[in-house]
A = this chain, B = another copy of it.
Amino acid sequence: MTDQSVIFGIAMAEKRREKRDPQQRRAEILASAFACFAERGFAATRMEDVAARAGIAKGTVYLHFPDKDALFTELVSGVASPILGQMGEFVANESITPRFAVSMFYALFRREVLETDRRHLLRLILAEGPMFPAVAEFYHREIISRGLGVLRILLGRAAARGELRNPKIVETPQLVMAPPLLSIIWTTLFEPYEHLDTQKLFDTFLDTLFVPAEDLSEGGTQ
């Protein structure tokens, strides 16, 4: 039995080497790295894990990425832009009210980040950021900085229309990002112990930020 099964085992498990389009291989490796890093963090993830999950040998990973750091950096750099694109569109369209734009951003964030595995990636950036200045710098430049720019326009418009309960918010647009940030931390850290209703969190914050609809349209600034 031993002999036979071993032989069969080997025959069956025989590695099918498969050449791939380099682009596709890269993507597969990145997908695998995403999963590994997301569930175990940077330090605890072994290159061999990444390779195994992608169904290839360790050496192959190094044909596509110079080292572990580069793999990580490339990974986290390629995850955020799409959302920001959406935001830009909302702002360009002046017929959309600021409140609606922000609420759409929150909805987008919930659907595309909080409720997907991307939330783990985002948390990873927060966690490992200080160890990877390049990542932190990239995120600030590409995401945060732009996001704040968009928010400033949006909040400025809202203030001009008298839609903000506290117009000074325009000067600290970071506040708008605080609830999403809290939700990321909470859901990845405390969710097992206490559930957080993020829908309610965001809705409540919106109601706090913007004046109620019924109090509007009776003159702006004053």
Binding site for B on A (CB under 8 A): 41-44, 123, 126-131, 133, 136-137, 140-141, 144-145, 165-166, 168-169, 171-172, 174-175, 177-179, 181-182, 185-186, 188-190, 192-194, 196-197, 200-201, 204-205, 207-209
CB < 8 Å neighbour of A41 from B123, B130, B133, B189: B130
A181 to B41 Cα, complex, angstroms: 21
Interface pair A175/B179, CB less than 8 Å apart? yes
Q: Is the CB of B166 within 8 A of A208?
A: yes
Separation in Å of the A36 CB from the closest CB of chain B?
14
- Give which listed residue, B169, B177, B193, contacts A182 with CB less than 8 A: B177
Residue of B nearest to A186 (CB): B174
Give chain B residues whose Cβ lies under 8 Å from the Cβ of A209. 208
A-B contact pairs, 7 of them (CB 8 A): A145-B194, A166-B207, A174-B201, A175-B204, A178-B178, A178-B182, A208-B208
Contacts of A186 in B (CB 8 A): 174
The residues of B that contact A177 with a CB separation of less than 8 Å are: 182
Verify B182–A200 contact, CB threshold 8 A: no
**Which residues of chain B come closer than 8 Å to A144, judged between CB atoms?**
190, 194
Cβ B171 vs Cβ A204 within 8 A: yes
Closest-by-CB residue of B relative to A180 is B178
Enumerate chain B residues within 8 angstroms of A182, measured Cβ to Cβ: 174-175, 177-178, 181-182
- For A42, the closest partner residue in chain B by CB is B43
CA distance A177 to B165 in the complex (A): 20
What is the CB-to-nearest-CB distance from A35 to chain B, in angstroms, rounded to a whole number?
Answer: 15
A189: which B residues are within 8 A, CB to CB? 126, 129-130, 136, 140
